Structure formats: structure tokens, C-alpha cells
Amino acid sequence: MVSSKLEKSCSFLVATDKAQASQNEIRTALESNDEDAKVEAMQKAITAILAGEQFPALFITIVRYVLPSENHMVQKLLLLYLETIEKTDAQGKLLPEMILICQNLRNNLQHPNEYIRGVTLRFLCRIHEEELLEPLVPSVISNLEHRHSYVRKNAVLALAAIYRLPKGELLVPDAPELVERMLQNEQDLSTRRNAFHMLAEHAQDKAVAYLFQQIDRVADWGDILQIAVLDLIRKVCRSNPEQKGKYIKIILALLQSRSTAVMYECAVTLVSLSSAPTAVRAAANCFCQLLVSHSDNNVKLIVLDRLQELKDKHRDVMRELLMDVLRALSAPNLDIRKKTLDIALDLIDARNIDEVVGVLKKEAMKTQSRELEKGAEYRQLLVQAIHTCAVRFPDVAAQVLHLLCDFLSDTNTASALDVIYFIREIMQTNPKLHDTIIERLMDTFPAVRASRVCSCALWIISEYCTRSAEEIAAAVEMIKGCLGPLPLFKEREAGEEEEAEAPSSLPIPIQMAAARPAVLADGSYATQTALPGEVPGGAPGAAGAGAASNVPNLRALLLGGDHFLGAVIAATLTKLVLRLRALRALPPASVNRLTVEVMLLIAAMLRLGESGAAAQAGLHPVDADSRDRMATCLRMLAGGDEGAARVWLEECRAAFAALIADKQQREAAEAKQEKAKSVAQPDELIDFHHLKMRKGLSKVELEDAVASDLARATGMADAAAAASNRLNKIVQLTGFSDPIYAEAYVTVHQYDIVLDVSVINRTNETMQNVSLELATMGDLKLVERPQAYTLAAGAQQSIRANIKVSSTETGAIFGNLVYESTGYADRSVVVLNDIHIDIMDYITPATCPDVQFRSMWAEFEWENKVAVNTAINEPLAFLDHIIASTNMRCLTPPSALEGDCGFLAANLYARSVFGEDALVNVSVEKLPDGRLGGYIRIRSKTQGIALSLGDKLILKQKG
């Protein structure tokens, strides 16, 4: 590790991939009379010095040949050169040759050209040698009154930089007074901003006095000066919270600024200073205005993050502005829409649900336009949002039902699946809509082209189509129509010509078809389907493809090899026939005829799956599970007992009802747990704000005083919890017998780690140059090296280090404490304990729909497979241990994990602070010897999270 004494400060960097020039080449170019050659030589010299080269002999050449130049570019490069070279010796004293440039700098500060004066003043801002600056102070002060604003604003910056130095108050004792006098008469905006910032930093009382002197004109100031005012207000209120009231009025006035940057800063400052409803409402209105008026998507996302924070703390105020927040849905970016919907769904209640659903319906209708970017994904988000609204408020389901049914035939399968799952849940939770849904579903079903959507729709029809014999018969006829005429696949007779084959005997890849509207002769519209490989004209291939466009949906899917759908169709038809028998509304002859027709359809599907000719045509043979299920249906139709009929007709729906009830119970328990969080201690004082003295207080000040009292009263539990968590995160770095004791408090933020290291001198001697030297392993990077300190005997010092985190991965921080002590020639080193950064600090439990989990599981490419090796003997206890160890949420409902069958499979899910998804599948069984066996599989989009989580599981799974 490099000692901090050897490090130099650097204020700029120049990257180059060219070879470095030699010292002689640069000297030759500098001694020439060509100004362009001098410019190029100075650039090469600066680049080489920044790359670590040392050109000590070049300094005198530059003093002789570059200093007298009148070229502005050469003078600017000269200042950059002086900035990069070392100006002090090993003992920290100014090099004698630096006196040569001091007179030149003074001449530049008195130069007739304002550009030369300005760049020289900017150069002085980055000089820290008091001996070099001291003779230049009078010239800097005189530039405060220069006629040109460029010089004046840089003079203020230079004066502030000099005053900031350790001996700055000795060099310019009256700097605040000079700047204050200048500020009274200054007209240039940038100069006033620099002067005001200097006063706010070094003479806060003078800045406050100037602010209140000009309080009536603050609203007319420029944006950069208004932002400086907000910085001052934050500093003052942080050090003196009692003064908040009078500053909040200024912030409310600045909210009307024409600058969006000032509006945003005002809103953020207002929320950080006050919890008064009026102030929060004004800030939220400002955020909503920025959300609509600003075109930058990044700004919109940042504003939505602020609104999310407001929603968590001030839900009632945000509910009033819900419709304003929803205006952000007009943005074309999908991330903005998703975040907007997340905020809106947390704010809906009985008063605004109708308005919210109305907006969602309008947006859903817009997605039918083909010009809309990412319309299918946006439609899926809207369907999920409407689903959530309808589950919470069942009365709105009827409003959206007909619109959503139109999306069942959507080409985006995920969106159509969300719709059919929504319909399935509404059928169970809202019995009043049964008849409407069944009627609408049967009308829409022939247009559905996705296999999974068809399966779910058929289950709904089979379970809830119970009103009358006519309805059941209509459902059977609808399914028969979707299957088309029998046989499904025509066996070719010996000697039959190939051209005579029926068009329905070919597997039709319906999913690859592209539909487009066609205009008929009478002006009406029809749907035309073009299949890949279609040949224009009268070729037989074209005729076959044209006939294929009319193939019913279920027939097309079956001919595509989907035998699982065939098993679902068989089960649906069987249930419908059994319900018809149970109603006893038709004559036995009619029921028997229908039974025979259904058995014929099931036999046709079985024959299709087992046909040799179909296999030769490329159709997959039927799988054993689907064959067994169809055979079971045939046996049930041929004659089953009452017990078996009860299983088919009652227990299927009862299982689904139990699933929905379990889901509602879990959601109610989570809501109850959220409400049960204590907001006040039982022995807190009760604040009667109506009895407060109102004299001289505005409404905002009164509300702020009350809100502050409430925050003080209710924040004790949070403070105690925070203190407890803080103690849990302290890491001891050295031993108690070491001469210097150190411990660190590790704070993990979203993208960085802050180490607060407390260092105590345990000896009776003074320690000098105590420095913390750190190194990292993994995707961690040290932002800056902490400075060195001097510790008296028994003294304590807090050292802060910032470490940047770039991905969710386990890392380690290790290092030394280095110090110098009297009586020792060498520096002493104390090696610190390693600090391991746990992946658990980055991931938080999250939830996602089962469909989304399966989709991500298929998509993610990184998998880590961990074999189960544990001393725990029970599968459920092992799962609970894994959940507790990995900070993940179990997506598998508890009802599915009940019972003792000797094996268990569950899905776990978490999301990192970087937005990465972590998926875990636990598959475990109890072996004959009583131990547990199986695998834990982890999948993620990035390698780091999969490997780190796997290492964590290997360590923790033993129990």
C-alpha cells in the first residue's frame, strides 16, 4: 500500500493513447518562435507530467520562453502546467524557483485583457501554498471591482478559496465584509451567486441578513442564485430547527419559479424540513407538475421516486393528488408507466376507485393502436392493475369485464393470461357476474389462439356453466365447433393421390400466422391470415394455406401437437355431460346421444395422438399423462359411481375456492400486520394543537409546529430500533491489547458502503499521521483515501471511508492502520480484521406473480445448483431455515406446503437494490435413512448474485 504522504492532489486528468514526447523535443518546440508549436509542446508536457513523468529541467525553459508570450492559449496552458507540477519539496516548503512565477501571476491579475485575469483567478482557486498566494491577495481584492463580470465572479471564487485555507483568515481577515459590500451593488447573476455562496459557507449570519433584506425580490432572482438560497436554508434549518417557519414561506414563494431545477429543489427542501400537510401538498403538486411538463425520462423517474417516498410517509395527502400522478401514464417509457401504476395502486380507496378504473380503461383502449410503442407490454401492466383494483373493490369488476374480454385473443400470451386469470378469480369471488362472464366468454372463445388461455377458459366453462341444460348444451356445441368436423386427421388410403388429401389433415402452425384486415367487395372488413411459405396465385400450396386460415382454434392447436390441451378438452366435455346428467332436465335419450358424441370426440383426439400417419407428418405422439387422462374421461362417461362424479363436479372447484380463500387470508394478515405497527408509546404526551398560541403564526408555521411535535413524539420507537440495528452492525477491527483500537460501523446504502471507523489511541504517546489504508476484493472500489490525523494520548477520532458498489456480490474489505510515534524511526502498522460485505445487505424479500416467476426462470441464463446437505430432518423446517437465512420470500402458499408426504418443492424470490431478480427453487425429499436429500437451484440474470447466493446457502443450510 502506498503511504498517503506520497500522494499528490490532482484537479484534472488528461487521457491519451499516444507515446510520450521526450524532454528534448518539448524544449526545442518551446524555444521556437512558432506559437502553435508552443501550444502543442505545452500540451505534450502537461500530458506527460500527469502520466507520471518528471521534467525538472523544463521549468526554466518555460519561464524564459513561455512566460513572456501574449498568446491566450499559451497562457492558459502555462497555468495548467503550473497546476500539475510539484511546487514544494519533501519537507513541504515552497521551492525557491516558484518565486519566479509569482511576479508573472501578479502581472496577469493586472493584465488589461479580462480573459487573462479570469483564468489566472481560476488558477488561484486550485493553489494551496500560502507563501505563493500571500503577495497576490491585494491584486485579487482589487479585481472584485473590475468592470467585467467574468473577472469579478472569478475573483470571488479565488477569494473564497484563499479564505478556506487553514491560514486563510490571516491572509484575508476581512474577506466576508468585502464580499458583503460587493454583493449589495452587484448586478451580474453569476457573480452574485458566487458571492452569496461564499457568505453562506463562511459567514452565515451575513448571508441570512442579506436574504431577509432582499426577501421581497427573491422570487425575481435567477435560478442559480435561488438554488444557492435553498442551500443556505437547508444549512440554517439543520443547525437551528426552531427557525424553520420563516424559511418555509421563502420556499413556498420559490415554488412558483419558472426554473424546473429550482422547483424540484424547493419541493425536496420543503419535504425535508416540514411534515405539515400544507407543505407536503405544495411539494407533491410541484412534483406532479414536473412529471407532466418535463420531457426527460430520467427526470420523470427521479420525480416518481420522490413521490414514492411521499406516498410512504403522507398517504392521505397523496390520495388527493392521485389523478395528477396518473397523468404520467402519457409518457411512452414503460419504466415510467410501471412506477406510476405501482404508486397509484397503493393509493386507491373507495372514493377514487371509479376515477382510477376509468383512466385505466382509457389507457387499455389506447393500447389497441398498433402505433403505440411496446403496446403489448403496457397492456399487460394495465390488465394487472385492473385485476388488483377489481380484487380490492369487487364492484368495479363489471365495468371492466367486457373491455378485458376483448384482450383474450391478444397475440401477447402473457397479457391474455392475466385477463383469463382475472376472470377466473372474479368468477369465484363475485357470483353476481357468473351469467355475464359465461356468456361473454363463450362469445369470445373461438377467437382465442393461445393454448394456455384456452385451457383456463375451458376450466372456467366446465366449473361455472351450471345454470341450465340449454347453457350446458350450448357450451358443448361451442367446443364441438372449435374442434371442427371429425376425423381430426385423415388417414391416407393405399393408392390415394397426394393431392386428394384434405387440407385439415396437416398440422397448422397457427401461432406463426400474421393476421391483417382485408376490404371486401361491399366495403366491409374481414380478417385475412397469411401463413409463412404461402405462394401467391393458384398453386395448391396457396389453396391449402387459404383453407388453413379458417381452421378452428382448438383444432389448429391439436394439429400443432398440443395433447395437454386435448386432455383439458376431454375433462371439460366430461364435466359438462356429468352436470347435464345431474340436472335431469333432458330426456335420457338426448343425454345418451350427447354422451356418445363427446366420447367420439375424445376418441378422435386419442387417435390423432397415436396415429402413425400423423407422426410421419411431423406430429408428436401423445404423452402418457394426457393419454391416461383421456382414458379416465372415457371410463367416467361410460359409467362411473356417484363418488367419482362428486370428485369431478364439486371437489375441483372446492380446491380452487380454498386457494383463493388462502390468498385472501394471507393478504389480510399482511395488511393487519402493517396496521399493527406502533406509532406512539403508551406514555407519550397528548398534543392539543387547538390550544397552541396562534399569535404571529401563519397556517404553515402552525401546522409545521404540530407536525414537528408529533414526529418527536412518535419517533422514539424508530430511534430505539435504529440504535439497536446500529449496534448489530459494528465490526471490531483490532484487539483490545493493540496500541490503537478500531471498530467500524458499516452502513450499506443503495450504491455505496460507508465505513465509520472509530479509532482510539490506547498509548500514553502522541500518534502522528494516523492513516487508514484500505483495499477491496470483489466489485467494491474505494472512492477516496481517508486523510491522516494526529491523535493525542487517549484521544479518539472518527474516520469515514466511502466504498462504491457496482453489483450484488459478496465482497471483502481489508487494510491497515499506519501511524508514526515518537521514539520510533519506522512507521508502525496494525493489521485490521477483514470486513465481509454480505449479499444479504443488498437483497430484500419481494413478490411477483407465478406467471412472471416462470417466465424469468426460463429466461435467466445463470444457474447455480446446490446439493442439500443438512442436519435438519424435516422438509418444512429446512425450508423455514432457508427462508430465514437468505432474506427471501416464499411464493408457494402455505396451504400447498401442508401435510407430511416426505417431499417438498417451493419457489423463493427476492430483488436486489440494483433491480436484479434472484429466483430460488427448493426441491427436497426425505430419504429412507431419515436424512434430507435434493437440490436448491438459484437462477439470476447476472453471475455474481447466483454465485454469492449459492455460497451463502452452502454455509447456512446445515442448520
3-state DSSP of 677-725:
CCCCCCCCCCCCHHHCCCCCCCHHHHHHHHHHHHHHHHCHHHHHHHHHH
Cell readout for 167 is 491560514
Buried b / exposed e along 531-558 (16+ C-beta atoms within 10 A):
beebeeeeeeeeebbeebbebbbbbbbb
Q: How far apart are CA 74 and CA 214, in angstroms?
A: 43
Angstrom CA distances, 229 to 196, 259, 444, 724, 725, stand at 8, 14, 62, 37, 36
**Entry field: residues in the chain:** 959
Helix ranges (H only) for 2-113 are 23-31, 35-50, 58-65, 72-84, 99-109
pTM: 0.70
Output Rg (C-alpha) for the chain, integer angstroms: 38
Answer for the pair 347, 322: CB distance below 8 angstroms, yes or no. yes
Crossing angle of helices 189-202 and 204-213, rounded to 10°: 130
Q: Which residues of the chain have pLDDT under 70?
A: 1-13, 15-17, 19, 370-373, 491-549, 613-614, 617, 640, 674-728, 749-751, 779, 806-810, 822-826, 839, 958-959
Q: Measure the CA–CA gap between 171 and 396, rounded to whole angstroms.
A: 74
Residues 6+ apart with CB under 8 A from 761: 739, 740, 767, 770, 791, 792, 793, 794, 795, 796
Q: Cell numbers of 947, please?
A: 454465485
Query: CA 82 → CA 66, 78, 110, 352, distances in Å?
Result: 12, 6, 19, 66
| Cβ-based neighbours of 401, under 8 Å, separated by 6 or more | 423, 426, 433, 436, 437, 440
> Grid coordinates in use for 217?
425580490
Grid coordinates representing 829? Answer: 502498522
Q: How many CB atoms lie within 10 A of CB 246?
A: 12
Contact 478, 438 (CB under 8 A): no
For residue 958, which amino acid is it?
K
pLDDT of residue 663: 80
Strand bridging mode 730-732 / 740-748: antiparallel
Nearby residues of 562 by Cβ (< 8 Å), 6 or more positions away = 451
SS3 state of residue 497: coil
What pLDDT was estimated at residue 242?
A: 75
Residue 704 near residue 274 (C-beta atoms within 8 A)? yes
Query: Mind listing the pLDDT tens digit for each residue in 497-553?
Result: 444 444 444 444 333 333 444 444 444 444 443 333 333 333 333 333 333 457 888
Q: What secondary structure letter does DSSP report for 621?
A: P
Per-residue pLDDT tens over the stretch 75-128: 888 888 888 888 777 777 777 777 778 888 888 889 889 999 999 999 888 888
- Write the DSSP string, 275-302: --HHHHHHHHHHHHHHHHH---HHHHHH
Beta-carbon neighbour count of residue 303 at 10 Å? 25
* Alpha carbons within 13 A on the beta-carbon side of 634: 15
Q: SS3 letters for 527-584?
A: EEEECCCCCCCCCHHHHHHHHHCCCCHHHHHHHCCCHHHHHHHHHHHHHHHHHHHHHC
| Residue 317 to residue 954: CA distance in whole angstroms | 47
* pLDDT given for residue 497 in this prediction: 45
- For residue 720, what pLDDT is reported? 42
* Distance in angstroms (rounded) separating the CA atoms of residues 102 and 100: 6
Specify the DSSP class assigned to residue 260.
H
> Minimal CA–CA distance to 243: which of 687, 708, 695?
708
3-state secondary structure of 372: coil
